[in-house]
Chains A and B, each alone.
Chain A
Amino acid sequence: MKETRLGEFEEVILLIVGILGDDAYALRVADEFETQTNRAVSIGAVHSSLNRLSEKGFLTSAMGQSSPERGGRRKRIYTITASGRSVLDDARSLRLSLYNQYPGFMVEFVGS
C-alpha cells in the first residue's frame, strides 16, 4: 500500500497546483512557490514532488500545449484528483482543530 500522508512541502505544492488550475506544470508551480513563499526551489525538486503526489494518487497529469520558447516541446499539466482534494480537506481540518486547541491563539479568538 502506498504512503498516503502529506508532507508540508507536498501540501503547499498540492495547493499551488489547485490555485494554478490549467496552468499547473512543473516550472510554473516552482515559480509560483517562490513568489508565494519567498523560498528558492529548483524545478527538479518540484517535479520530484509532483511525481510523488501522482504516485500517491493525489494528482493526475496529461501532456498539454507547447510554446515557441520551449522549443516546441509540450508541458505536463497536473490536476488535483478527488482523493487529492479530500486529503487537503483532512489536512486543513486537522490544522484548524489543532489551532483551536492552542490556548495562545484561543484567547485571541475569544477576545476578538
Chain B
Amino acid sequence: MSKQQPNPPKLAKWLLNWFLKKELAEEVTGDLDEKYHHTLNENSTIKAKLNYWYQVFNYLRPFALKHNRSNSNYFIMYQHNFKLTYRNLLKYKSSFIINVIGLSTGLACALLIFLWVSDEISIDKFHKKDQHLYQVLLNHDESGILRTGTESPGIMAEALQQEIPEITMSVEDTPAEWFDENFSISDGKNFIKAKGKFSGKDYFKLFSFPFKHGDPSQSLTDKSSIVITESLALKLFGTTENLLGKMVDYHLLHIKKQAQITGVIKDLPLNSTIQFDFVLPFEVFKDIIGKGMHWGNYNAVTFVEVANGTNISALNNKLGNFIKEKLEGSNVTPFVSKFSDNYLYGNYENGIQSGGRITYVKLFSLIGLFVLAIACINFMNLTTARASRRLKEIGVKKALGAQRSSLVVQFLSESVLVTVFSLLVAFGMVWTVLPQFNEITGKFLSLQFNTNLVVGTLSLAIVTGLLAGSYPALYLSGFKPIHILKGKLNASFGDVWIRKGLVIFQFSLSIIMIVCVLVVYQQIEYIQSKNLGYDKENILSIPMEGQAVENTEAFMAELKNVPGVINASCTSHTMVKNGSYTTGVSWPGKNPDVEIRFEQAAVYYGLIETLGIQVLQGRSFSKDYASENTKIMLNEAAINVMGLEDPIGKTVNLWGADMEVIGVVKNFNYASLHNKVEPMLFRMNDKFFPHGFIKISANNIPTTIQNIENFYKKFNPEYALEYTFLDQNFQAQYIAEARVSVLSRYFASIAIIISCLGLFGLAAFTAERRQKEIGVRKILGAGHLKIIALLSNDFTKMVLSAILIALPIGYYISSNWLGTFVYHIQLRWWFFALSGLLALIIAWLTISFQTIRAANINPVKCLKED
C-alpha cells in the first residue's frame, strides 16, 4: 500500500469515534480501515468511501453505542420523570381527575361548537359559481322607512340580463316554501305530496346541483319538462334509472298538469338552504299568474351571476332606479347581495344589513371560547396550585445536581402529557354525545379528523399544557435549593393574586351565563304562553285543494257536520307568519304622501269565529247579509293608523273599489312575536283560500281526526289529507330560539360545573395548606363555625367581586337579545339577584365539603408532624 492512496472519509471516522464505545475503537476502526483498503484495491475510490460510510452507519447498534439504555443519563432521567409523573397522579388522584374532567369537558364543548360553527359557515357555499352568485333583494320605501324583501317581479330576471351588461346570467325562481304542501305529484296512479317550485331555464347552470341523468343546461327549456330529485324518483318509480322521458302528473291546488322528466338530480346537500323535490319551468308559473306578471307584482325571487371583477356597490347604484324606470310611482330599489351570505346575514333594518343568524354563530363561538377559557384557566390554576407541593422534589433534585433546564423540561412535558390525554378524552366525549347534539341543533354533524381539526386541537392542548406548566417550570425551578429545603418559601404560595383573578374571571363568566339562560328561558316561556288574541288550541290546519277549492261551500258545510268538529273555515293567511300585504288602501282624510302597509287576508265565512278572534265593534262576515264581497273588516291597529272614529259603516277604498267597514277585531298576533301587530284587513272578495282551519273539540281528538279523514277521503278522493296543529306551527317559528335556549342551558351548566370543579380543587388545596393554622386555631379555642367562616371568607370575596363584574355585562347582553323581539318580557331585578345568589350558593356548597372537613380535623393529627 502506498501513501498516495486516499484515506477513509474523515467525517465518517469522526462520527464513528463519537458514538462508538471506547473499548471497541481499536478493533472496529482497524476492521473498517482494512475493509476500506480492500475495496479500494478492487473498486473505485467513491465506492470505497461510500462503503466506509455504510459500515459506519451499520455500527449504530446498541452493543456498540456509548450512550445506551443501561448507561445513558438521559434515559434514566426520563424514565424517572415519567415514573414521578405517574406516581404523582396516583398520589393526588382526585385533583388529577378534576383536572382531566374539567379540561376535557371544556375541550369537548369547544369542539362541538366548532363543528356547529363550521357547518353554519359552510351553508350554501358549495355552488361552483358561489363567488359570483348574487340574489336580487328589494328595498321598499314605506313612508320613509325601508323594508327589505326577497320577492321581486317575475319579469325582472329577463330584463336584467338584457339591460345590465355586468349581469351575465339571471334566473327567476319561486321558493318551494311558497307552495307549502300544495303540490302533489304522481306516476299516473297514486298522488303523493312533494315540495315543488318553478325556476328559470338557466337555473341548473347557475346553481351546482349535480345531475344524475339529463343535461343541466337543457332540462328546463321545454314548458312540459320537470326535474326531480333521486329520492322523489325512488318514491314515485322505485328506481332512479331510465326515467328520462317518462310522464308525471302534478296538481297544484286546483291546477292539474302533466310533465315529462328531463333530469334526475342527486338529493340536495344538507348544507343547502334551497330544498325541493322537483323543479318545473318558470314559464308554467307565468301562465298561471297570467296578467299578474308586471312590475308592480312581486311574485318571484331573482338570482344573478355577475361578471368577474364587477364592483358590486357600483352595480347596486346602477340598479337603484331599475324598477322605478319601468313603473311610475314605484317605491322599490333593487340591489344585489351575495347569495351564500344571505343565510348568515339575512336581516335588514331600514335597508341596511343588520346581522341574522351570524348573531347565533358569534354567540356560540363566544360561549365556546368562554367555556374553553374557563377550562384552561382551571387547569392552569390547579396545576400551579399543585406544583408548590412539589417544591421538595425540586429542592432535592437540584441538590443532587439537576440542571434547571431538565426541571423545566420535566414540568412542561408533564402538563402537556395531561392536556393531550384530556384531548383524547374530549374526542371520546364528543363522539358519544354527537347524536344528541345533532338532535338538539337539527343538524347532521360528524366528527371527521382533517388536518385542520387535528392540528388545531393538538396545538391548543399543547399551548394550554405549556402555559399551565410554565409556572412550576420557570418560576419554581429558579429557587435556591437551600431555601426550598429549609421550607422558607412554603407559605407564600397559598394566595397568589393571579389565582384569585382567575377565579373571579371564571365566576364572572359563569354568572353572565346564568343571567342569559334565565332571560332566554323566561322569554321562551313568555312566547309560548302569551295570549295571541286568538285561540290557537285544538285547531287543525289543512291545505285547501281539489274539490275543497272547487266546492268550498259544500266542503265547509259538510265538514262542520263531522262529529267532533266545532267550526271550520279558510283564508289566504297562514296565521303564523307574515302573509301578503298591500299598500292599496285609502280612506277619507288619508295623507296621500304616506304609504301605509296593511296585512291583508282573504277570508271565508266563519274564519273569525273559528279562530276565536274577538270582534270589538260591528259584526263579522255572515251569510245572513247580501253582497259581503264589498265589505271589509279591520283590526284595532288599522283603526288607530287611519284615525277613523266610529268606523262601522264608513267607506274605505281598497284597490280602487269602495268597501264598507262592517267590523273591528281586537289586535291579535298573526305572525311571529319578533314583529309588531300591524294594521290588518279582512276581505271576502276572493275565490281562493289556500289555508283551511278546523276547530275541533278538546275531547277525543284522535277520533275526530279519524272522522275528518274519512270524510276527506269521500269528498276529495284525489288528495291525501295533510294536517298540522296550528299551535305546533306556531311553536315551529321559534325553533331557532328554542334551540338556543336548550343549548345555552347545557353550555351554561357545563361552564358552571367546570368553574365549580376549579373552585373545589382550589378549596381542597387551601384547606390542606392551612392545616397547621387550623390546628393551632382549634387548640386556642376556635369553633367549627369560625373555621368554616375563615376558610369561606376568601372565596366569598372572590365570588362577590365576580358578581359585581358580571351583572352589568349580563344586563347588557340580555337586553340586547330581548331587543330582537317586539313582544318581550321586562328585565326584572330578581333575575340578577337570583343569578348572583345562585353563584354564591353554588360556590359555598362546592367549598363547604372541604371547609367542613378542615374544621373537623383533629388538631393533634396535623400538628404532630415536623
- Which positions in A face B, CB cutoff 8 Å? 25-27, 42-45, 47-48, 51-52, 63, 66-71, 73-76
Can you show 8 pairs from A to B with CB atoms below 8 A apart?
A27-B32, A27-B35, A42-B55, A43-B32, A44-B57, A44-B60, A52-B63, A75-B27
Q: Of A42, A44, A71, which is in contact with the most chain B CB atoms at under 10 Å from its CB?
A: A44
- Number of B residues whose C-beta is below 8 Å from A? 21
Let me know if B64 is at the binding interface, CB within 8 A: yes
How far, in whole Å, are A18 and B543 apart by their CA atoms in the complex? 101
Task: Pick the contact of A43: B1, B31, B37, B60 (CB < 8 A).
Answer: B31
Task: Pick the contact of A75: B1, B31, B64 (CB < 8 A).
Answer: B31
B64 contacts A44, C-beta separation under 8 Å = yes
A70 contacts B61, C-beta separation under 8 Å = no
Let me know if B30 is at the binding interface, CB within 8 A: yes
How far, in whole Å, are A90 and B28 apart by their CA atoms in the complex? 32
A43 contacts B30, C-beta separation under 8 Å = no
How far, in whole Å, are A25 and B29 apart by their CA atoms in the complex? 13
Task: Pick the contact of A45: B29, B37, B58 (CB < 8 A).
Answer: B58
A70 contacts B34, C-beta separation under 8 Å = yes
> What residues of chain A lie closer than 8 Å to B37, measured between beta carbons?
69
A73 contacts B64, C-beta separation under 8 Å = no
> What residues of chain A lie closer than 8 Å to B30, measured between beta carbons?
66, 70-71, 73-75
- Which positions in B face A, CB cutoff 8 Å? 1, 26-35, 37, 54-55, 57-61, 63-64
Task: Pick the contact of A71: B28, B33, B61, B63 (CB < 8 A).
Answer: B33
Nearest opposing residue in chain A for B32, CB measure: A43
> What residues of chain A lie closer than 8 Å to B59, measured between beta carbons?
43-44, 47
How far, in whole Å, are A51 and B61 apart by their CA atoms in the complex? 11
B55 contacts A71, C-beta separation under 8 Å = no
- Beyond A44-B55, A44-B58, 14 additional pairs, beta carbon < 8 A: A27-B31, A27-B32, A43-B58, A43-B59, A44-B59, A45-B58, A47-B64, A69-B1, A69-B37, A71-B33, A73-B27, A73-B29, A73-B33, A76-B27
> What residues of chain B lie closer than 8 Å to A43, measured between beta carbons?
28, 31-32, 35, 55, 58-59
Using known A-B contacts A42-B54, A42-B58, determine if residue A48 contacts B64 with beta carbons closer than 8 Å.
yes
Using known A-B contacts A44-B64, A48-B64, determine if residue A25 contacts B31 with beta carbons closer than 8 Å.
yes
How far, in whole Å, are A76 and B29 apart by their CA atoms in the complex? 12
A71 contacts B31, C-beta separation under 8 Å = no
B1 contacts A70, C-beta separation under 8 Å = no
How far, in whole Å, are A42 and B35 apart by their CA atoms in the complex? 11
- Shortest B462–chain A CB gap in Å is 38
> What residues of chain A lie closer than 8 Å to B31, measured between beta carbons?
25-27, 43, 47, 70, 75
- Shortest B718–chain A CB gap in Å is 83
> What residues of chain A lie closer than 8 Å to B35, measured between beta carbons?
27, 43
How far, in whole Å, are A75 and B26 apart by their CA atoms in the complex? 8
> What residues of chain B lie closer than 8 Å to A42, measured between beta carbons?
54-55, 58
- Shortest B31–chain A CB gap in Å is 4
Nearest first, the 6 A-B pairs at minimum CB distance are: A73-B30, A44-B58, A42-B58, A70-B30, A44-B59, A27-B31
How far, in whole Å, are A51 and B59 apart by their CA atoms in the complex? 12
Nearest opposing residue in chain A for B60, CB measure: A44
> What residues of chain A lie closer than 8 Å to B26, measured between beta carbons?
63, 73-74
- Shortest B768–chain A CB gap in Å is 49
